[in-house]
Structure 1
Amino acid sequence: MLDKFKPTWMVKTIYAVSPDQLRACGIRAVFSDLDNTLIAWNNPDGTPELRQWMTALKEAGIPLIVISNNSKDRVAKATKNLDLPFVSRSLKPLSFGIERARTKLGLKKSEVVMVGDQLMTDMLAANEAGVRSILVQPLLNTDKWDTRINRFFERLVWRQLKKQYPELKWQEDLND
Structure 2
Amino acid sequence: MMKAFKPTWMVNTIYSISPSQLKSHGIRAVFTDLDNTLIAWNNPDGTPELKAWMQSLKDANIPLLVVSNNSHNRIERAVAKLELPFISRALKPLATGINRAMKKLELKPHEVVMVGDQLLTDIAASNQAGVYSILVKPLIDSDQWNTQINRFFEKYVMKQMLKENPTLSWQESLND
How many percent identity over aligned positions?
65
Distance 1:163 1:108 in 2: 31
Q: Which amino acid aligns with 2:146?
A: D
Segments of structure 2 that go 5 or more residues without pairing to the other structure are: none
Partner of 2:135: 135
TM-score (norm 2): 0.99
Q: What residue is the counterpart of 2:96 in the other structure?
A: 96
Residues of 2 paired with 1:122 and 1:135: CA distance? 8
Range 115-124 or range 102-111, more displaced: 102-111
1:24-173 pair list within 5 angstroms: 24-173=24-173
AA aligned opposite 2:171: Q
- TM-score, normalised relative to structure 1: 0.99
- Per the alignment, residue 13 of structure 2 pairs with 13
In the TM superposition, what is the alpha-carbon distance from 1:53 to its structure 2 partner?
0.4
Using the TM superposition, give the Cα deviation of residue 103 of structure 1 relative to its aligned residue in structure 2, in angstroms: 1.0
Distance in 2 between residues matched to 1:155 and 1:21, nearest whole Å = 29
Q: Secondary structure at the match of 2:171?
A: coil
User: Per the alignment, in what secondary structure is the counterpart of residue 114 of structure 1?
Assistant: strand
**Mean Cα deviation higher: 157-166 or 81-90:** 157-166
Segments of structure 1 that go 5 or more residues without pairing to the other structure are none
Measure the CA separation in 1 of the matches of 2:156 and 2:136. 18
TM-fit CA distance, 1:9:
0.3
Distance 1:21 1:165 in 2: 23
* 1:51-109 deviation per Cα after TM superposition (whole angstroms, max 9, x unaligned): 00000000100000000000000000000000000000000000000000101111111
Distance 1:67 1:107 in 2: 15
One-letter amino acid of the counterpart of residue 100, structure 2? R
Give per-residue Cα distances to partners, 1:108-144, cap 9 Å, x unaligned: 1100000000000000000000001000000001100
Q: Give RMSD over aligned pairs.
A: 0.5
Taking the aligned partners of 2:164 and 2:9, their CA distance within structure 1 comes to: 16
**Counterpart of 2:121 in 1: which secondary structure?**
helix
Q: Secondary structure at the match of 2:120?
A: helix
Match of 2:55, as an amino acid? T
Which structure 1 residue ranges, 4+ long, deviate > 6 Å from structure 2?
Answer: none
